[in-house]
Amino acid sequence: MDEILEILEKDGRASIEDIAKMIRKKPDEVKKSIRKFEKDGAILKYKAVINKELVKDTDSEVRALIEVNIVPQKDLGFDKIAERIYSFPEVSSCYLISGTYDLLVIIEGKNIHTVSNFVAEKLSCLENVRGTATHFLLKKYKEDGVILKHKVQNQRENISY
């Protein structure tokens, strides 16, 4: 992978000047390369990794990993049904995987009921879906290469009588 892409993947906030120093190129060359990567679709988005546990409020969302077993369509394979599934607004990620299941779908919902309703009313009833297995994300330890710190739990001593 290109050096510029490697740097931006690790730190999307790296300045053009800093990148130029790291790879010993002129800032104009780096800027031109980045614009080309953006135009060609190699760079799709810049994002921040948020530790949602530290900013959790009453409206925090539930995230679920759903393994989906599908019947590939003739002459289209998995792509058409995957496109149908990732088009739902609840779906944040969709991957073709090896193993017992064919797709791994990551969704977010307001609570466990909205996730279960998505699976029951939208996903499972699709023509080419043969089965699903839903796993709820309970706690994140590391995301996108970043170790997440957690809130310190109340550490009061137990009192027994």
How confident is the model over 69-93, as pLDDT tens digits? 999 988 888 999 999 999 999 999 9
Entry pTM: 0.76
pLDDT score for 120:
96
- Residue with the bigger pLDDT between 36 and 158: it is 36
- Residue with the bigger pLDDT between 136 and 1: it is 136
What DSSP string runs through the chain?
A: --HHHHHHHH-TT--HHHHHHHHT--HHHHHHHHHHHHHHTS-----PPP-GGGG--TTPPEEEEEEEEEPPBTTTBTHHHHHHHHTSTTEEEEEE--SS-SEEEEEEESSHHHHHHIIIIIITTSTTEEEEEEEE----SEETTEEPP-PPPP-PPP---
Q: Does domain 56-138 have CATH number 3.90.78.10?
A: no
pLDDT score for 150:
72
Q: Is the dihedral of CA 64, 68, 73, 78 positive or negative?
A: positive
How confident is the model over 29-63, as pLDDT tens digits? 999 999 999 999 999 989 887 777 777 665 668 99
Strongest mean pLDDT among 51-60, 94-103, 107-116, 138-147: 94-103
CA–CA distance, 119 with 107 (Å, rounded to integer): 10
Given a cut of 90, whether residue 155 has pLDDT beyond it is no
pLDDT score for 54:
76
Boundaries of every domain in the chain: 3-40, 56-138
